[in-house]
């Protein structure tokens, strides 16, 4: 029996790897995605174009502007002579931020009254807006502190902020471990979901049924290639994440692989279920897609689960990707132990059991 399943696994792998188009789909795009998205998917702000309106024109206000131009976050594109010119520049996306310094700026600073400064950001991208405002506030309070220091006064208190696990708050350290999970899921799901449908469309599924293979053997033969390919894909991206992108891998690789195996088995169960339910490749593809997109969105890959409405948060509980993302990120950045991830691994195992049982039941129904 083992030999029979092994033969089916070999046949399945050959079918996938011998066909140049399928092979290309398995190897090229995931790597391309890793590189492109690894560099592009960043929330870090660089060179945010901003304009200045300086009604004060004093040494103090010029010093304030120098505080802004001195960071790589902001890039001064224009100095305008009138407040009325700012709206057009922001509307046309020439600038994303405007800094307006009031004519009373120096006078108020010297008399100890709060000196008026206005910061305007383009809210068409609210994420950039909030982060740019955060940076601007930081620069303004640094400026206030240094001004007070130079004038011999006691500086207003500032927050001493530090970040754990990712001290420079690099988005890449968050996104790239996420891509490992994401691509492992995409590749495994497509491989598994389309195999049965392809055989059914080509008519070779009936031939498979007249062989001595039992439905369970067929399931194993279809599922295990998915596991192998998924793990291979995850390993390649893991290596790239560490050696190419320089994301620190602080935890144990064994914990990562344990999580990966459990996760991929859960994905295989879902893939087989989609396969069993669909008669054509188009249906299988649509099914895979209808699972994949929600599972990516509701996983916390790009945006936090905590920001979602409560009922959507409950939905995420049945999403295996959600748990694997926690495993990958904690292993990478927090050096998490197996014990601290037991809830996540148990949840993925439970999803795997349910989906595999459902797939077997659906399969038997289709076969007999």
How many residues of this chain bind other proteins (CB under 8 A)?
110
Residue 83 to residue 78: CA distance in whole angstroms: 12
> To the nearest whole angstrom, how small is the minimum distance from the Cβ of residue 38 to other proteins?
10
DSSP state letter for 368: -
Q: Give least dist CB 142 to other proteins, A.
A: 11
Residue 110 or residue 216: which is nearer to other proteins going by CB?
A: 110
- 18 CB burial (10 A radius; 0-12, 13-18, 19+): exposed
Say if residues 323 and 252 touch (Cβ distance below 8 Å).
no
What whole-number distance in Å separates Cα of residue 277 and Cα of residue 197?
9
Which member of 81, 84, 156, 339 binds other proteins (CB under 8 A)?
156
Q: Taking CB under 8 A as the rule, does residue 326 contact other proteins?
A: yes
**Buried/exposed 184-212: b ≥16 CB within 10 Å, e otherwise:** bbbbbbbbbbbbbbbbbbeeebeebeeee
Q: Beta 97-101 vs 74-80: how paired, if at all?
A: unpaired
Subset of 39-58 contacting other proteins (CB under 8 A): 39-49
Smallest gap from residue 120 Cβ to other proteins (A): 5
Interaction residues for other proteins, span 14-43 (CB under 8 A): 21-22, 25, 29, 33, 36-37, 39-43
Q: Is 360 in the site for other proteins (CB under 8 A)?
A: no
Closest CB to other proteins among residues 7, 31 = 31
Binding span for other proteins by CB under 8 A among 118-126, 212-220, 229-237, 262-270: 118-126
The rounded distance, in Å, linking the Cα atoms of 119 and 246 is 36
The mark string for 296-315 relative to other proteins (x by CB under 8 A, - otherwise) is: -xx---xxx-xxxx--x---
Four-point Cα dihedral 180, 312, 323, 289, nearest 10 = -40
Instruction: Considering only residues 180 through 239, tell me which ones interact with other proteins, judged by CB under 8 A.
Output: 190, 194, 198
Sole window of 5-13, 135-143, 218-226, 347-355 interacting with other proteins (rule: CB under 8 A): 135-143
Asked if 176 touches other proteins (CB under 8 A), the answer is no
């Amino acid at each position: 029996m083992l030999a029979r399943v092994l033969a089916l696994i070999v046949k399945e792998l050959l079918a996938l790897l011998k066909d140049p188009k399928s092979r290309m789909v398995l190897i090229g795009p995931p790597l391309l995605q890793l590189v492109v998205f690894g560099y592009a998917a960043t929330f870090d702000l660089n060179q945010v174009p901003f304009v200045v309106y300086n009604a004060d024109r004093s040494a103090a206000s010029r010093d304030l502007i120098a505080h802004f131009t001195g960071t790589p976050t902001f890039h001064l594109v224009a100095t305008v002579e009138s407040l009325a010119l700012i709206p057009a520049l922001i509307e046309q996306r020439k600038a994303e931020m405007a800094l307006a310094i009031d004519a009373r700026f120096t006078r108020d600073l010297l008399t100890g009254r709060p000196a008026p400064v206005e910061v305007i950001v383009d809210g068409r991208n609210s994420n950039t807006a909030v982060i740019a405002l955060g940076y601007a506030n930081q620069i303004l309070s640094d400026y206030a502190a240094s001004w007070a220091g130079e004038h011999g006064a006691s500086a207003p208190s500032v927050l001493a902020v530090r970040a754990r696990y990712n001290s420079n708050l690099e988005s890449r350290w968050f996104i790239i471990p996420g891509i490992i999970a994401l691509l492992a899921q995409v590749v495994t799901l497509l491989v598994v979901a389309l195999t049965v449908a392809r055989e059914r469309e080509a008519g070779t599924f009936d031939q498979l049924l007249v062989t001595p293979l039992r439905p369970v053997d067929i399931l194993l033969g279809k599922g295990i290639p998915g596991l192998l390919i998924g793990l291979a894909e995850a390993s390649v991206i893991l290596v790239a994440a560490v050696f190419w992108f320089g994301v620190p891998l602080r935890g144990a690789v064994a914990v990562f692989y344990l999580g990966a195996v459990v996760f991929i088995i859960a994905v295989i169960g879902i893939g087989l279920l989609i396969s069993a339910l669909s008669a054509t490749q188009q249906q299988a593809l649509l099914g895979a897609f209808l699972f994949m997109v929600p599972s990516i969105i509701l996983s916390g890959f790009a945006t936090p689960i905590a920001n979602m409405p409560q009922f959507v948060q409950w939905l995420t509980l049945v999403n295996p990707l959600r748990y694997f993302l926690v495993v990958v990120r904690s292993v990478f950045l927090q050096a998490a132990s197996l014990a601290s991830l037991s809830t996540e691994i148990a949840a993925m195992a439970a999803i795997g059991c349910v989906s595999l049982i459902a797939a077997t039941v659906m399969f038997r129904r289709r076969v007999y």
